[in-house]
Amino acid sequence: MKNTKDPRHSARRLAVAVLFSMPQQQEADPDSTYSIENTIETAEDVLGEKDKSYDQRLLFEILNGVQKETDKIDGTISYCAPEWPVDKISKIDLIILRISVFEILYNSNTPQKVAIDEAIELSKEFGNDTSSKFINGVLGAVVDLEKKEVHN
């Protein structure tokens, strides 16, 4: 298991928690003024990150990027895992995939291997027994697809 005090890994852990809880918070109280900052604070409490030793820039890059590119990311996931419709993938696995696909395809600051390794670590922490294999397979297909598109 990765060291949870690595600031970039901690940011990714928080991103998983925030992206997982955002829809539930919005659904639970649709009339309230929803705040991403409140969701981050809750995630910090739950994951023990109140000291803010995580990479805040990376956290916001991931949150903003995943939200902005969700449709494109989900299209890529659907293409790379055609036997698994996006709405049938476990919520936590889907969030980890979204973060990783965002980092692979849209965030040039993250090497592909790092994005995949981080996704596998996150899936071991948050997913089920088969999550890491599934995520590794989908991300391998994403990288292959990206290489084909770059070389064409």
pLDDT at 3 over 60: no
Q: Which domain holds residue 134?
A: 7-151
Say if 74 falls within a structural domain: yes
**Alpha-carbon separation of residue 49 from 23, 27, 92, 95, 142 (angstroms):** 21, 25, 20, 20, 31
Say if 39 falls within a structural domain: yes
Q: What is the pLDDT of residues 44-93, one digit of tens each?
A: 999 988 888 999 999 999 999 999 999 999 999 999 999 999 999 999 99
**Alpha-carbon separation of residue 39 from 20, 23, 76, 143 (angstroms):** 10, 10, 27, 31
Say if 1 falls within a structural domain: no
Instruction: List for the chain the helix, strand, coil content (%; round to 5).
Output: 75, 0, 25
CB within 8 A of 60, min separation 6: which ones?
none
CA gap 70, 97 in Å, rounded: 11
CA gap 152, 150 in Å, rounded: 6
Q: Which burial class, exposed, middle or buried, applies to 46 when counting CB atoms under 10 A from its CB (0-12, 13-18, 19+)?
A: exposed
Q: How many domains does the chain have?
A: 1
Say if 97 falls within a structural domain: yes
Mean pLDDT for 99-112 is: 95
- Residue 90, both tokens: 């476990």
139 or 25: whose pLDDT is higher?
139
54: domain CATH number is 1.10.940.10
Say if 84 falls within a structural domain: yes
Segment (H or E) for 45: helix 36-47
